[in-house]
Amino acid sequence: MEGQLYRRLPPEDSGELRLQPQGSEEAKTFVHAFLKRSMPKMKDEAIQEMLTRKAVVLEHYPKKKTKQKRKKTKGFTAKQRRELRLFEIEPEQQRYAIFLPLHELWKQYIRDLCHGLKPDAQPHMIQGKLLKADLHGAIVTVTKSKCPSYVGITGIILQEFKHVFKIITKEDKLKVVPKLNNVFSLELDGFISYIYGSKFLLRASERSAKKFKLKGTIDL
């Protein structure tokens, strides 16, 4: 095909068309002159380069995005946190009275969350809301436990961890109560809810996104 295309015209055809057949050298110089004339600003070398054929690969390469290295948030490591005792409450701060406003705040929060918490509200709805609610500041009581000495502890939740609640009692004692094998009850405006701690082994933040399933036993 290519050979056909670049073949010299037969003399009979060129005679008929009244064309002057050119030799290859002549053609080359003609092209040069033509290009030079049409693009006077281009340099000779640039034109020459355009004429050299290049192989074009027809596959698509997406441009690799150069990922920007995210800067690590400069915080404390778990070890440092432990050493600094960041999340521990100082003994002089362990007083029940200090945390009563927190409890009031929590009550307000739950009432807002449950649209006022009217006495005729559906317990089912409150249950669902409480499941996702934050419990810091709630007054809870341990109603059932595998270990009898936990039974009866009442107080305000100060901190919630994955496996334990830290509760301050009326006697200004800070109690660390594991969630596993304990049942907690919390009372608000006449609604009493029970929390089965064994199913609650999550951090407060994880719990808000967790879907609770009616599965397994609630037996301690």
Q: How far is the CB of 154 from other proteins (least distance, A)?
A: 12
The nearer residue to other proteins, 106 or 150, going by C-beta atoms, is 150
Contact 154, 175 (CB under 8 A): no
Q: Select from 215, 96, 194 the least CA-distant residue to 145.
A: 194
Contact positions vs other proteins (CB under 8 A): 143-146, 148-152, 183, 220
**Residue 90 in tokens:** 């100082």
Distance CA 141, CA 194 (A): 9
Q: How far is the CB of 135 from other proteins (least distance, A)?
A: 22
Q: How far is the CB of 152 from other proteins (least distance, A)?
A: 5
Cα angle for residues 125, 126, 130 (degrees, 5° grid): 125
Distance CA 204, CA 177 (A): 16
The nearer residue to other proteins, 136 or 179, going by C-beta atoms, is 179
Contact 175, 169 (CB under 8 A): yes
Q: How far is the CB of 215 from other proteins (least distance, A)?
A: 20
The nearer residue to other proteins, 33 or 147, going by C-beta atoms, is 147
The nearer residue to other proteins, 88 or 187, going by C-beta atoms, is 187
Q: Select from 162, 218, 161 the least CA-distant residue to 195.
A: 218
The nearer residue to other proteins, 202 or 220, going by C-beta atoms, is 220
Q: How far is the CB of 109 from other proteins (least distance, A)?
A: 29
Q: Residues 45-59, buried b or exposed e (16+ Cβ, 10 A)?
A: eeeeeeeeeeeeeee
